[in-house]
Amino acid sequence: MGGGVNIKLTLCSLASGSKGNAIYVGVDKTKVLIDAGLSGRELLRRLKYIGVHGEDLDAIIVSHEHTDHVRGIQSLSRQSNLPICTNYPTLSHIKSLTNRINVREFTSGESFSIKDLLFQPFSVPHDAADPVGFIIRYKEIKIGIATDLGFATKLVIERLKKCDLLVLESNHDDEMLKLGPYPWQIKQRIRSRLGHLSNQQTVTLFKEIYHKDLKHIILFHISEMNNRPEKAHAGITRLLKGCKYHPIDISIAEQQRVGKTISIT
């Protein structure tokens, strides 16, 4: 890994859930945020917790325009003079962003670089303008991020193969959602092909993309109302007990606290 150079690529969930999402990714002198769904002040506080300052960041990369992914981009970009990287359809739907000067547009399906990190955005099925997941590459390291999607398309499955680290949505438990307090229309939206992955859908996707060199999986965007961390964890754990699967590190991304920092060399 890393072409023989002992440089760590680190990833950490700063927040995950319907109240706000953000992921930190860093290697050597390149540091970025994937989404910024908390207030700018709270994002800076959580970054400081893992030893990163706002002025250390090189960019905020936005997956789609929903508020729980973009709430803090205006203030954080302004405070730290950060470029915002997103595609044009997403940008055109972010009403909270009044200063659009420091924006770098990418096209879904086309790679772009932020210093030492290569990003490969790919389309995902979600009820947004042009939502994307990301493959992030550094030398021979490959990270896959897919956090808001209603089902796993062939494209999603293909892009997420052969990753060293996966960040996958495991949003809801089917039975909890069915019996829960949400209005019928919202339940239908969550369960739709433009909604969110259930625990079982995540397990099914994981079966397709698991390989023996996979080291870590972070279960992301777990609903506080319609899921439990132990339920999301249990499905993957049961699968890994099969004889053809090797143990991997499983982490749960949480809403109220910074997650585990994972390093890969």
How much is the mean pLDDT over the chain?
95
212-265 confidence digits (pLDDT tens): 999 999 999 999 999 999 999 999 999 998 878 888 999 999 999 999 999 998
20-39 confidence digits (pLDDT tens): 999 999 999 999 999 999 99
Query: Residue 81: left if φ>0, alpha if ψ -120 to 50, beta else—which one?
Result: left
pLDDT of 1 > 80? The answer is: no
pLDDT of 2 > 60? The answer is: no
pLDDT at 96 (0 to 100): 81
> How many Cβ atoms sit within 10 Å of the Cβ of residue 197?
25
Instruction: Determine the Cα–Cα distance for residues 86 and 63; give it in Å rounded to an integer.
Output: 7
Q: Is 231 helix (H, G, I), strand (E, B) or coil?
A: helix
- Which has the closest alpha carbon to 112: 122, 121, 124, 102? 121
Q: Which amino acid is at 11?
A: L
Work out whether the CA dihedral 164, 169, 174, 175 comes out positive or negative: positive
58-68 confidence digits (pLDDT tens): 999 999 999 99
Q: Do residues 77 and 60 touch, judged by C-beta distance below 8 A?
A: yes
Q: Which positions ≥6 away from 26 have C-beta within 8 Å?
A: 9, 10, 11, 32, 52
pLDDT at 5 (0 to 100): 55
| Axis-axis angle for helices 73-80, 40-49 (nearest 10) | 70
Q: Do residues 69 and 221 touch, judged by C-beta distance below 8 A?
A: no
pLDDT of 100 > 90? The answer is: no
Q: pLDDT exceeding 90 applies to what percent of the chain?
A: 89
Q: Do residues 56 and 31 touch, judged by C-beta distance below 8 A?
A: yes
Instruction: Determine the Cα–Cα distance for residues 84 and 79; give it in Å rounded to an integer.
Output: 13
Q: Which positions ≥6 away from 107 have C-beta within 8 Å?
A: 87, 121
Strand arrangement, sheet containing 84-86 = 103-105, 84-86, 59-61, 30-34, 22-27, 9-15, 262-264
Query: Residue 186: left if φ>0, alpha if ψ -120 to 50, beta else—which one?
Result: alpha
- Which has the closest alpha carbon to 220: 75, 68, 74, 91? 68
169-201 confidence digits (pLDDT tens): 999 999 999 999 999 999 999 999 999 999 999
Q: Give, rounded to a whole angstrom, the gap between the first and last alpha carbons of the chain.
A: 6
